[in-house]
Amino acid sequence: MEKRVVYIAYLIIAFVIFNFFYGFTDWVASWQMWDWYLVILLLTIVSLLIIKYKQNQRKLAVEQYAKENDRRRIQLSQLLLFEQLDKLNDELFHELLQRFFELQGYEELEVSSNPITCGYDFMMWNQGQKIIVKYFKRVPMIENLYTDPEGLDFALGELVTLKEIREFYGSMKDYDIQADIAIALSTSDFEEEALLFASRNGIKLMNGHEFYEALNGLKEEKTTISPSPQVSVS
């Protein structure tokens, strides 16, 4: 309200100064009827444009607010689901991933006997193609949920690094493996450099949001995890 009063005061001062030097009131007094029609038309157009602009700004603000709410909802749901997954021991987590990929249509899933040495956690096949999978069980990246996230550091979480994706790519191209496809799965997300490197080298990435959405889809289908035999790969 105070700003509007100041703006009106500035307009009055500008009008008085302009009228003093250029005789604005005398010029207006000489106007014909059609001149007034033209002025009214121009003022109406300007008013409509201002109203339209404010409506668009209000609409953009509402859309931005909705996006922020969606972002907060997704982050909280990811964190809650990760806490559930984090309670699973390695054997159950492996079993979960096995069933997950089986339901995605992959076949002959084999669990690596030594992921550190082999560089992958699973080997599987699909339409004759050899596929290796490595998962990164990381805490999801959660920004400050109650303040503007711009310019703030992440309060929680860990990203998969470029170095880790490079090493996984090396395993994919290893002479003893020679996989056709490599899939890196993270319960969090990937660094920008890692995303770029993966896109350039044909590595498929699945971040936490995509993984959790897929798990929720399987949950809605009421699928259950049941023990299945594991085949070790040396």
> What's the pLDDT tens digit per position in 191-231?
999 999 999 999 999 988 888 888 777 666 654 444 444 43
**Residue 86 sits in a domain of what CATH number?**
3.40.1350.10
Neighbours of 9 (CB within 10 A): 10
Does the residue 163 lie in any domain?
A: yes
Question: Is residue 117 classed as helix, strand or coil in its secondary structure?
Answer: helix
Does the residue 111 lie in any domain?
A: yes
Does the residue 47 lie in any domain?
A: no
CA 218 to centroid of chain Cα atoms: 22
Does the residue 17 lie in any domain?
A: no
Burial of 212 (0-12, 13-18, 19+ CB in 10 A): buried
Q: Domains in the chain: how many in total?
A: 1
Residue 131 contacts residue 184 (beta carbons within 8 Å): no
Strand partners, 185: 135, 206
Q: Which residue range(s) make up the domain with 74?
A: 63-233
Does the residue 97 lie in any domain?
A: yes
What pLDDT, in 10s, does the model give residues 146-165?
A: 444 444 344 457 889 999 99
Does the residue 21 lie in any domain?
A: no
Measured N-to-C along each axis, helices 208-220 and 33-86 cross at an angle, to the nearest 10 degrees, of 70
Does the residue 33 lie in any domain?
A: no
